[in-house]
Chains A and B, each alone.
Chain A
Amino acid sequence: MDFTFSPEHIALRRMIREFAENEVAPIAAEIDRDHQVPMETMRKLGQVGLLGVCFPQEYGGMGAGEMGYCILMEEINRVCTSTGTNVGAHIGIGAMAIYLDGNDEQKRRYLIPLARGEQFAAFGLTESGAGSDAAAIRTRAVREGDSWILDGGKVFITNGGYADVVTVMAVTDPALGARGGITAFIVETDWEGFKVAREEDKMGIRGTSTAELVFEELRVPHENVLGKVGEGFVTFMKSLDMGRLTLGAACIGGAEMALESAVRWAKTRRQFGAELASKQAIQWKIADIATELEALRSLVYRVAWLVDTGQPFGQLAAMCKLYGSEVASRAIDIALQIHGGLGFSRDFPLERGFRDARIGEIYEGTSEVQRIVIASNIFREHGVRIRP
């Protein structure tokens, strides 16, 4: 067993940390306050190659694999969850669906500009009646000659308000449902019939765009079918598996930020004539965060290694997301408690971190859905099929 990072991944982490400290951290509070997507920062991420971190170099990527992508998510989320979410929705699910099941022409046409940050991607799955129950989508796609006509809409689409390309899941055969009746499409947002209906006003990750999308007789060329007709559900589930792993990595960043803040404050804040760090009540809290953080780090990077070496990882990715989001929430809650009243103040980043962390247990599959995925996999190995 070798738990060391390769020299290239150590160098990559150093590069990302430098970028995150200089470009992302200084605007984190501002984009949260103003509810603004940091477009300039997103473009800069693309210019240095980070938005293609995990994709092959022949498709405009960096070729650093899933390990490199997890490092990116950890380091960006360590300083700003909003920017991390924009990056994750763009690479981890939007562009990832094209990378996983796109043909060579689609990858050249879409993945290259996405990897360079010249265009941005979103992932169109959730609908008002289909959240955790993803197979219940109602957006319809009907074949008409060389095109498909899409009607319907999506809600809670991260990056939806500014994406140039959206991967969309639609029903192409209602009789078959998720088992052959759902198809994935690559949709360009400047096509007629595509509309951004509204932006959500959210509790956290306020430096992101979460939009409702409407498709009205949206004509999509047949060449933009992603993967095979009828197999879109599989494409989207594979993309979500990848996304869940990297959300776990994002949560390492959030928990790290919490731990660093808590330790720094415990060293400087004096009460009852001594530093908080000398109090056992504080020491134990910090020990708990640090232990869970290390367990999460081991899990996430092991799963990244499984992905990069072509081994099965779906169930473990669900564990990364489930455990990661709950560890990050606990860590920020504890760090805020250690800061007392100042942690509750908007002058300190923990208040933002607390609001931002909450979404981790909801988006890209709630904690409850992750538990279903994990339990289903366990029972399947024992011959029992679980229905949600």
Chain B
Amino acid sequence: MRIIVILGRVLDPSGIVVKGSAGRIFVNREEYLIQPADACALEAALRIKDGMAAEVVALPRSPLPDDDILRQAIARGADRAIYLTGPALKAADEAAMTGVLTAAIERLGGADLVLIGSTTLDTGQGQLGLRLAEALGGAQITGAWQVSSADGQVQAVLQRNGRYVAVEADPPVVVTLLPGALKLRYPDGVRLINVYRGVGEVGDALEAWDAADLVDEAALTPLVESRGKEFAPERERGVRASGTPAEMAQAAADALRQRMRR
């Protein structure tokens, strides 16, 4: 069984301080993590591999400036990771990435199961899984808590209307995992050191593929073109009230009255 895991990265929120009074975001430590929902997808893949013969291959969900999260995936147990590179990939949006990933999966010999996070922490985008299912011509299961495989089928547990529902589908299947569904295992120490040193068995597990070799340039043209940035006007700062609850309520009412008069 070949399991493809799609991984993205996000700035570690614990390294960021949002200072409302200064109107600024301070980045104290610029460190990137695997997107939390994608981390659940990786753990789901590794758990399936723990119980049956399977190959887990990690691919990036968007253009990455470096291959760090792919090395992290190998350290945690992925068999292979493909770092997609090339200047043409820089502006790729979800539509373009769908094309590149579909071609990469094809080059790998296809996939029985594609696992990806249902959403991303920074942009909240959740389209890639759905697009991939469409492009690969397989079934899709969205928002799973658990994924398993038995008898040549893929099983998943979802939560619908406050109840857990078990579903299954024939491969190829794309399953999106909810953030927090599973706790990602720790890296194995030896794999971690070797994958960063590029030595031993895992030293060859990371490959770099040029996107231009996978799809033609037209397929990499983003659907959406950015023509600049515009922000909403800055909001007026609120009023800080202190004192007894009655005094604070009075201050809030006075502030509202003044604002309405304006």
A18 contacts across to B, CB distance below 8 A: 186
With A8-B197, A11-B71, A11-B72 as known contacts, state yes or no: A50 contacts B31, CB within 8 Å.
no
Query: In the complex, which residue of chain A has the Cβ closest to the Cβ of B14?
Result: A21
Query: A300 contacts the other chain (Cβ, under 8 Å)?
Result: no
Query: In the complex, which residue of chain A has the Cβ closest to the Cβ of B187?
Result: A15
The answer for the CA separation of A64 and B68 in the assembled complex, in Å, is: 18
With A11-B72, A14-B31 as known contacts, state yes or no: A63 contacts B190, CB within 8 Å.
yes
Query: B124 contacts the other chain (Cβ, under 8 Å)?
Result: no
Residues facing A in B166-187 (CB within 8 A) are 186-187
Query: In the complex, which residue of chain A has the Cβ closest to the Cβ of B183?
Result: A22
Cross-interface CB contact of B192 among A6, A8, A52, cutoff 8 Å: A8
Q: Is the CB of A12 within 8 A of B193?
A: yes
Q: Is the CB of A53 within 8 A of B189?
A: yes
Query: B26 contacts the other chain (Cβ, under 8 Å)?
Result: no
Q: Is the CB of B189 within 8 A of A50?
A: yes
A113 contacts across to B, CB distance below 8 A: none
The answer for the CA separation of A14 and B15 in the assembled complex, in Å, is: 13
Cross-interface CB contact of B196 among A8, A49, A53, A57, cutoff 8 Å: A8
Residues facing B in A4-35 (CB within 8 A) are 6-8, 11-12, 14-15, 18-19
Query: B59 contacts the other chain (Cβ, under 8 Å)?
Result: no
Q: Is the CB of A49 within 8 A of B190?
A: yes
A50 contacts across to B, CB distance below 8 A: 189
The answer for the CA separation of A15 and B189 in the assembled complex, in Å, is: 9
Minimum C-beta distance from B156 to chain A (A) = 26
Minimum C-beta distance from A7 to chain B (A) = 5
With A8-B196, A8-B197, A11-B196 as known contacts, state yes or no: A49 contacts B75, CB within 8 Å.
no
Query: B188 contacts the other chain (Cβ, under 8 Å)?
Result: yes
The answer for the CA separation of A6 and B31 in the assembled complex, in Å, is: 15
Q: Is the CB of B196 within 8 A of A7?
A: yes
Q: Is the CB of A63 within 8 A of B193?
A: yes
Q: Is the CB of B193 within 8 A of A64?
A: yes
A62 contacts across to B, CB distance below 8 A: 189-190, 192-193
Q: List 6 A-B contacts (CB under 8 A).
A: A8-B196, A8-B197, A11-B71, A15-B189, A49-B192, A62-B189
The interface of chain B, by Cβ under 8 A from chain A, is: 31, 68, 71-72, 75, 186-190, 192-193, 196-197, 200
